[in-house]
Chain A
């Protein structure tokens, strides 16, 4: 099993550009989530999904869109990148929303200039 994979590993965007961060898992997990990690802020939840076709907002959803058309994939779209979105983004999956171990991808380091 590859576990949770994320692409790209690094990305530089200009303000106003859009892009999609890809996330895929091969563990047949129903629950997937996106976090951003900023120094001194820990991990903050952006969006999450409890199954194909079902998504919900987390703590910091503004400026991001998600969709979940399959169990395996959970892409994160930045609609119009801003410098405040410079961060490291992690995707995670779990067999349960609560109580289950979350498996994290290796992260995408995004810089917006």
Chain B
């Protein structure tokens, strides 16, 4: 069965600095990978997803992620963060077929002015 590890539970970063949120997955087959964002007191919304094709995926709000099959990673990056990026970010994985999405435990990004 697939699993997801988000390596950092909290990441503080200064405004306009770059950020990387790390995600590693475990699966014996090919996977679909997702990043979701949760702003305070809201539900989750999709940032980006990798299904196939180019390993560099661009999402909303200037975020991008790179699928690395050899390292089983799907790290999320943004070159310059804003205060409004303060939120919790979840990496998720699913396998083709009838298997539901599995989420990581989340990384809380705090952007400091």
Contacts and interface: CB of A to CB of B under 8 A. Distances in A.
Interface string B91-108: 000111111111111100
Interface of B: 6, 9, 32, 34, 36, 42-46, 49, 51, 90, 94-106
23 contacts: A4-B43, A33-B100, A41-B105, A42-B6, A42-B103, A42-B106, A43-B44, A43-B103, A44-B103, A45-B102, A48-B100, A92-B44, A97-B100, A98-B32, A98-B95, A99-B32, A99-B49, A99-B94, A99-B96, A101-B49, A102-B36, A106-B43, A107-B42
B72 to A, nearest CB: 18
Interface residues of A, number: 23
Nearest to A58: B100
A104 B44 contact: yes
Nearest to B107: A42
Contacts of B9: 40
